[in-house]
Structure 1
Amino acid sequence: MPAFRPGRHVTPLAHHVQRYVVTWIGVCAFGFTTTAQETWTLPSPNDIRSDAANLDAPLWSSPEVVPPGREMVLGNETVIGSQLNASAEADGVQESSVFQSPAPDMVIESDASEIIGPAFDEPSPVFDVPGNVVYPQSPTTSVIMQGRRPWLNLDTDFSDPLLDFQNRQTDKEQMILRHACHRDAFTPAVYVGGQARLSLLAATTNTTDKFPYLGRFPTDFSGDSATDARLLQANGHVTAHVTPMAHVYGEWLFSDVFTFPDHRQGSLQVRQAYAVFGDFRQSPWYLYLGKKNIGFGDLGTLSPFTQSVVWHYFSALAEGVGLGYFDDRWHVTVAAINGGRGIRVADSTSRGKLNNFAANVRFRHGDIELGRIQLGSGFLLGTIYDGFTAEHLDANQFGDDNNSAWNLFGQFEFMAVTLAGEWVSTTEAWPVTGSMVQAYRLEAAYWPHRGPGFSVWSFSYSDGDQGGPGTEFEFNRQLVLGYQKQLSHHMRVSAEYVRSTGFAPLIDITTVSDRDVAQDSLVLGATIVL
């Protein structure tokens, strides 16, 4: 492990930080409407939310509801606790998408008709890391006539962390099981959601035709400056709670990057597709099978839009089968992974067998008010850093022996401050460069305001090393100073200053690299979630 030296690893800020003022005005209004029958909209149901992403919420508690026979005034309507059996079978409905809340029925009495929908007591807001905040549900929610339960649903608080590119990269299967716990009488249901990430970049480089910012491909730009506006990524999901024990998740992704070597703009792919088997109301154990992000490390970041060097170096997605354990403090996973080249870093010595392996453990304790700490470690048996050629196109390239990777990560939160760090390293030298591949990140965030309409300032420094001291391909380094603001329940915007130093792309790393390259970028981002 190389020693941490401020002169080498910390870029001086005094000569590089650019002042900028960014004003974003956004309006995002979402409503749900049913078409087959008349519906009513509950006045300001801001107390409806999903606890799927809230690690502080009890695993199988449901929000309190109006007890049977008791009345509660909601706007101009009178809510009476329902005497209906919440566990009775219910038919699906043909109306358009509506929000399926995780609570027993209630009845709203009015002069027009009787309609059935959810009622909650208002909960206290709960918070998590940037990009993974749990807040009250959207301001309009439709309810269905005649007491039928909808089979097709929208839940932004559920979709947001599932589709998040920045945080919670490696453990999202437990969110699906947690979400199922907060549904009352079980009937099959489908939840859908989508996300769009829009980006505007302006940058300068000190070396013509070399742009080391890792959020774009090196060949995207030429000259000494760059401007770029694009829908960087758009992804959507379909999650089906089929039975109390069986759940299916599918995610598709559009990424506005070219495909080597023919430079086709954009790609549409099924990014993840897997089934999860388990019921946290019965047992903390679960099983998953399919294509998903591998449980290895944390790989998140406190930056609002730009991913850290650690993610770029060691993110792994592949097919396989895994076993997990999850409770209020521990989350442990082990996985057997299909052999051969996965997406990004996963690789093994041959195809046709379950010959790769991953394990991850995460411990968490406390809460934000008194201090919450998370510590974890991970191991990945086979990585792409076993090959003799620096590339990621040839699925038939295998090394003679596995070059494994190990990971340590931690995060501490107290009131308005979040601190995070992560270290990842291979166990052997990469044959291409003759050095081990290592990456780390050091990050901090300050929250002037948490909860709905949150705002957060962030600092992130990350470094990736894969060459000997003094070599042109020794490092890629990145400094990010960011700000993020939530404009509505469905939209947040961000601004980042990014300093990228060292130009060491994976392709042709030993021939085109230049350690003296530096790029200064202003990155504006917007994330829209439904």
Structure 2
Amino acid sequence: MKSALIRGASLAALAFACAPALADEDRIAELEARVEQLEETNRRLLAYLEAQGALPPEAEAPGAGARGHGGHQDHAAPAGGAPMHTAHHAAGQSAGHPGGHHPRHAAMHDSFVGIAPEYGYDILDHAENVNTRQLVILEAMQAGALDRRVTLSGALTVLADYQESNSNTKFGWLMRHPTSANQIGETVSEMVVHSAQLAATGRLTDDITTYVELLYDPEQSFGPGTITALARNQVQVRKAFVMWGNLEERPVYAAIGKMDTPFGLNDTVSPFTNSTNWHAFAGLAYGGMVGYYDNGFHLRAMAIQGGAQFRAHNSPVEDTNVPSRLNNFALDARYSAPLGADGQWMVGASYTHASAYCQAWPVFHFNPCEDNNPAFAVYTQGRAGAFEWLGEYAATTDVWPGSASPVPLYAAFEPVETESFTLGGRWWMDVHEADDFALSFEFSRFVAGDEGAPWERQDQYVLGGSYFLTPSVNLFGELIHTQGWVPLNFLSGGNLPGGISWSEQDAETDVLAVGVQAAF
């Protein structure tokens, strides 16, 4: 563009000045001097306009602005090396190393705040890549999606549902906390805000990135009262960390702050409802993590703050739940490889020194433990053409003391290891765009007690449909069936007269849910 402007100015000057006296040598010398002067003036003008950011970039970054649902053959592995269709939400972001970040880095200095809707959907999605947020950020940086000093993201999930239960006030759908304060009788219905999120991703340098996420979730809040009570309508800092890393320079990264812990997969093929693996084992804690991502390998290790953490981790500190020592950790390793001409598969395994299943009877969230109870997870995920699948199993290595009860009525039930497993599949189809509609089915189970105990297990079946209006706006519908009602608090009794358990194996819930998940 610059050379074209200069040549145009030069030709214009020649055409204007050329006259019958063109053959005169003095006249020619004068014209040459004028052309040189015009070229210098143009050069200075272009330099000034470029410095002011008034000129458009000569070349767009690879993948920038690419539509997320571009067909299977165009997708690289999504964050974490997982071959799932999360890549659809940011196909232009999750590509490999070639040329993503550096061509746009100069523009980043001139643009302070912006949005990236596909990145916003991915980083705030509660269903996929749930514990690989750092890699989502690093790959978005690499693809040029985070070309501003600050990228603002937001997400809103609104929900309409109808639920029926065969047991009064016992609704087993875990996307709503099963409390009688909010679900009365044997039928419930609602049109609500399930959750709202706001996040900021800051590019401080090429290697230093900050991330802060605010969450409003009255449907799954631990606050007392109904969903209109002030205590359940609070905004919290759900995640916040500082990360060092740049995949263009090195395969190693590190982060410190409040973040998801690297344990298990915990993803779902369902458009909205999380699996029981997520509910049972997905961790959120203070700590520091290091990771390695290259050649199909994604390795992570995290030092986790002790005591009772926000989710899924409880490591006693002198027989208390006070988080005053860094005495817990989690490890995760996964490997991804191509599967045929248009597929990919991934396998992984995790270990944590202290899960949440260490409390004695009666069980209650965040109670102190006498000893830690480690846990492990193994999982796989794959894609072959339009079909995707996942499978996961997680369990504690020791029995959960609170899974047994001292009540004579339950004397026959021994304490057991806590377990959960998930199996699911999803098929993508074309409606208006490539791969913009999906059908999914998933089964998951949470095992919390001995065979025959009222708190033995809770099963969940989800049939889902998902249609993407855009890569960051998802219309979804689900049919959900749950068997068993096993809330974690007092699952084996202790809150009712005589220590009787309120868990119920015969309780069943049917749910029809539709909603919108939209992000920017």
The TM-score bracket by the shorter chain reads: 0.7 to 0.9
| CA positional deviation for 1:283 | 1.2
* Structure 2 residue 481 is the aligned partner of structure 1 residue 499: yes
Residue 260 of structure 1 and its aligned partner are, at CA, apart by 3.9
- 3-state SS of paired residue (2:268): coil
Q: Tell me how far apart the structure 2 counterparts of residues 182 and 70 of structure 1 sit (CA, whole Å).
A: 30
> Which residue is equivalent to 1:41?
none
Give the whole-Å Cα distance in 2 for the aligned partners of 1:121 and 1:276.
24
1:422 paired residue number: 392
- What amino acid is aligned across from residue 153 of structure 2 in structure 1? G
Q: 2:299 aligns with which of 317, 323, 332?
A: 332
Query: Is residue 349 of structure 2 the alignment partner of residue 408 of structure 1?
Result: no
Spell out, residue by residue over 1:119-147, the C-alpha distance to the aligned partner (whole angstroms, 9 max, x if none).
3678765446355523578xxxxx9xx99
Distance 1:235 1:343 in 2: 18
CA distance in 1, matches of 2:126, 2:162: 22
In structure 2, the CA distance between the partners of 1:117 and 1:440, relative to structure 1 (3 Å rule), is same
Q: Deviations over 1:248-302 (max 9, x none)?
A: 1111100013544455332210000001112212211111111100011110000
**Equivalent residue number for residue 237 of structure 1:** 199
One-letter amino acid matched to 1:432 = G
SS at match of 2:232: coil
Question: What is the TM-score with the length of structure 1 in the denominator?
Answer: 0.73
Whole-angstrom CA distance in 2 between matches of 1:428 and 1:147: 51
Q: Is this contact kept in 2: 1:453–1:485, CA < 8 A?
A: no
Q: Secondary structure at the match of 1:386?
A: coil
| Paired position in structure 2 for 1:150 | 111
Compare 465-474 and 368-377 and name the one that shifted more: 368-377
What's 2:121 paired with?
Answer: 160
**2:88 aligns to what?**
133
Higher share of residues assigned helix:
2
For 1:398 and 1:466, locate their aligned partners in 2 and report how far apart those are by CA, in whole Å: 19
Matched to 2:380, the amino acid is G
The Cα shift of 1:323 comes to 1.1
Deviations 1:185-227 (A, max 9, x none): x987111110001111101111122111111122221111111
Q: CA deviation at 1:339?
A: 1.1
* Larger deviation, residues 363-372 vs 114-123: 114-123
Once the two structures are aligned, what percentage of the paired residues are identical? 23
Structure 2 residue runs of 5 or longer lacking an equivalent are 6-42, 79-83, 93-103, 318-322, 404-414, 493-500
Task: Specify which structure has the higher proportion of strand.
Answer: 1
Provide the C-alpha distance between the structure 2 equivalents of 1:471 and 1:424, rounded to a whole number of angstroms. Answer: 21
CA deviation map 1:445-492 (0-9, x unaligned): 111139656100001000010111111100010000111001124311
- Aligned CA-pair RMSD: 3.0
Runs of 5+ in structure 1 lacking a partner?
A: 1-66, 72-82, 94-112, 138-142
| Aligned position for 2:208 | 246
Structure 2 matches for 1:451-466, cutoff 5 A?
454-466=436-448
Structure 1 position 516 matched with structure 2 position 506: yes
1:30-63: CA deviations, max 9, x gaps?
xxxxxxxxxxxxxxxxxxxxxxxxxxxxxxxxxx
- Structure 2 residue aligned with 1:387: 359
The corresponding residue for 2:189 is: 227
Matched residue, 1:371: 343
Judge conservation of contact 1:259–1:267 (CA < 8 Å) in 2: no
What code does the residue aligned with 1:228 have? E
Q: 1:341 aligns with which of 308, 321, 327?
A: 308
Counterpart pick for 1:169 among 92, 114, 130: 130
How do 1:163-312 residues align onto structure 2 when only pairs under 5 Å count? 163-183=124-144, 189-219=149-179, 220-257=182-219, 258-263=221-226, 264-312=231-279
Distance in 1 (alpha carbons) for counterparts of 2:225 and 2:371: 32
Provide closer, same or farther for how the CA distance between residues 114 and 359 of structure 1 changes in structure 2, counting only shifts above 3 A. closer
For 2:506, the aligned partner's letter is D
> CA separation in 1, counterparts of 2:375 and 2:197?
29
Q: Which amino acid aligns with 2:329?
A: F
8 Å Cα contact 1:200/1:525 also seen in 2:
yes
1:361 paired residue among 321, 328, 333: 333
CA distance change for structure 1 residues 149 and 515 in 2, over 3 Å: closer, same or farther?
same
Provide the secondary structure at the position in 2 that maps to 1:159: helix
Query: Deviation at 1:401?
Result: 1.5
CA distance in structure 1 between the partners assigned to 2:487 and 2:312 by the alignment: 15
What secondary structure sits across from 1:528 in the alignment?
strand
Q: Residue 281 of structure 2 corresponds to which residue in structure 1?
A: 314
Contact 1:452/1:489 (<8 A) preserved: no
Q: CA deviation at 1:230?
A: 0.8
- In structure 2, the CA distance between the partners of 1:91 and 1:206, relative to structure 1 (3 Å rule), is farther
* 1:190–1:239 contact (8 Å) kept in structure 2: yes
Change (3 A) 1:436 1:300: same
In structure 2, give the amino acid aligned to 1:153. Answer: G
Aligned 8 A contact 2:348 2:378 in 1: yes
Instruction: Give the counterpart letter for 1:428 in structure 2.
Output: D
- CA shift for structure 1 position 179: 2.4
How do 1:21-170 residues align onto structure 2 when only pairs under 5 Å count? 115-116=56-57, 119=60, 126-127=74-75, 129-130=84-85, 132-134=87-89, 149-170=110-131
Distance in 2 (CA, whole Å) between partners of 1:131 and 1:147 is: 26
| Letter of the 1:134 counterpart | H
Structure 1's 92 and 242: CA in aligned 2 closer, same or farther, altered over 3 A?
farther
Are the counterparts in 1 of residues 313 and 355 from structure 2 also a CA contact under 8 Å? yes
How far apart in 2 are the matches of 1:148 and 1:363?
Answer: 36
Could you say which structure has the larger radius of gyration? Answer: 2
Distance 1:164 1:92 in 2: 37
Q: Which amino acid aligns with 2:60?
A: A
